[in-house]
Amino acid sequence: MAKRTLSGRARACANIALAKYWGKSDIPLNLPAVPSLSLTLDKLVTDTRVTFDEQLPADEVFLDETLQTGKASARVVELLDRVRKKAGLAAYARVQSKNNFPTAAGLASSASGFAALAAAANVAAGLPYDEKRVSAWARQSSASAARSVYGGFVELKAGRPGQKSLSARPIAPADHWDVRLLVAITAQGPKKVGSTLGMEHSRETSPLYQAWVEQSTAMFNRVKRGVLRRDLEMVGRAMEQSTFSFHACAMASDPGILYWQPPTIAALHTVRALREDKGIAAYATMDAGPHVKVLCEAKDAARIKRALLATEGVSEVLTARPGPAIRLG
Ligand code: DP6
């Protein structure tokens, strides 16, 4: 029989959580312990091609043209195995993935990366494109990636231990609300404690973990209500509380996890001063790293960007808008 190659391509955008995910209810199934809600961003994009090729002796994973080994490649192979099982395929795959943003700056790439990978592998395997299944596959690799399958505002519910499947769900499209998300770069180099390890360490050792899990649904509900009403103050306040709560939980671990750098705190004060002294609606969030992300209305974005760039230690500010769902081909 002739050797077969099957290939598929997908482009996915990164997302930023407005209500944060931190902690798992089931580690092997990678189910989140708390609900989260995100905004897909138009600016930070991953393009991935997957080719199943019967002549390959093993899976090959390239990120930005560099061959990946160890853990990075193992997580990709696990996702490919799920797709192969569903499609009844045996062939190994070549994965070629490119980020349009500097991964060295420590910006999250796993969300757009695993979403694009799941979608491209789905297409390459010849399966009909099914957003829910792609989101569930992406979620098993990295829970935040489940949300990058969809555009606009997206929720991911908490999972019950042992739950068979869990996908994200869009709650409002990108054109629902013309907000901006500014990313202030406050440090160079990859983060020291990845989110997977950081949240597990928090669960095992932080006295604040249980309180975080109990309170997170209320914060999520306020973020969701605020998004549906386009109420920036409601979203912003709940988002800041969600951010500070999960960081407090991580900091209280043993040993503590501290993602903040001096410019992180300086940028947080810039945001606060804009709000309190100038009456500009700007709200901050952070992920498992030192960068500060600011949610605001489109009309205020340029002014906030100038203030962030004038903050000691902020080297660059990217401006993103609500972004689209995964694009195939
Ligand atoms: C702080 O999705 O990277 O960015 O499921 O272990 O891969 P894994 O974790 P990941 O965690 C993201 C955590 C966060 C908040 C968020 O994006 O909701």
Question: How far away, in angstroms, is 175 Cα from ligand 1 center?
Answer: 25
Q: Is 320 exposed, middle or buried (0-12, 13-18, 19+ CB in 10 A)?
A: buried
Using a 6 Å cutoff on CB, does residue 136 contact ligand 1? no
Residue 307 contacts by C-beta under 8 Å, 6 or more apart in sequence? Answer: 270, 273, 274
Query: In terms of Cα–Cα distance, which of 29, 46, 51 is closest to 121?
Result: 51
Question: How far away, in angstroms, is 142 Cα from ligand 1 center?
Answer: 7
**Pocket perturbation via mutation, ligand 1, pick of 13, 16, 21 by most ligand atoms within 8 A of CB:** 21
Question: How far away, in angstroms, is 143 Cα from ligand 1 center?
Answer: 6
pLDDT at 329 over 90: no
What backbone torsions phi and psi does residue 14 show, to the nearest 5 degrees?
-70, 165
pLDDT in tens, 186-242: 988 766 899 999 999 999 999 999 999 999 999 999 999 999 999 999 999 999 999
Using a 6 Å cutoff on CB, does residue 288 contact ligand 1? yes
Give percent of the chain with pLDDT exceeding 70: 97
Q: Could you identify the residue written with the tokens 């002014």?
A: 303
Question: How far away, in angstroms, is 131 Cα from ligand 1 center?
Answer: 20
SS3 43: strand
pLDDT in tens, 129-185: 999 999 999 999 999 999 999 999 999 999 999 999 999 999 999 999 999 999 999
Nearest protein Cα to ligand 1, atom 14: 287
Query: In terms of Cα–Cα distance, which of 153, 115, 152 is closest to 135?
Result: 115
Nearest ligand 1 atom to the CA of 22 is 13
Nearest ligand 1 atom to the CA of 15 is 17
Using a 6 Å cutoff on CB, does residue 240 contact ligand 1? no
Question: How far away, in angstroms, is 134 Cα from ligand 1 center?
Answer: 17
Long-range pairs for 79-84: beta carbons < 8 A, 24 or more residues apart: 79/114, 79/117, 79/118, 79/121, 79/137, 79/138, 79/140, 79/141, 80/50, 80/121, 82/137, 82/140, 83/118, 83/121, 83/122, 83/125, 83/127, 83/137, 84/52, 84/125
Using a 6 Å cutoff on CB, does residue 196 contact ligand 1? yes
pLDDT in tens, 87-120: 999 999 999 999 998 665 557 678 999 999 999 9
Is the separation of the CB atoms in 137 and 83 below 8 Å?
yes
Cα 233 from Cα 274, distance rounded (Å)? 14
Nearest ligand 1 atom to the CA of 30 is 5
In this structure, of 7-21, 71-85, 95-109, 149-163, the range with the lowest mean pLDDT score is 95-109
Query: In terms of Cα–Cα distance, which of 281, 243, 320, 244 is closest to 17?
Result: 243
Using a 6 Å cutoff on CB, does residue 319 contact ligand 1? no
Cα 25 from Cα 160, distance rounded (Å)? 6
- Confidence (pLDDT) at 103: 64
Using a 6 Å cutoff on CB, does residue 36 contact ligand 1? yes
pLDDT at 1 over 50: no
Q: What confidence category does residue 2 fall into, taking pLDDT thresholds of 50, 70 and 90?
A: low
Question: How far away, in angstroms, is 108 Cα from ligand 1 center?
Answer: 9
Using a 6 Å cutoff on CB, does residue 30 contact ligand 1? yes
Question: How far away, in angstroms, is 262 Cα from ligand 1 center?
Answer: 23
Q: Please give the mean pLDDT across all residues of the chain.
A: 95
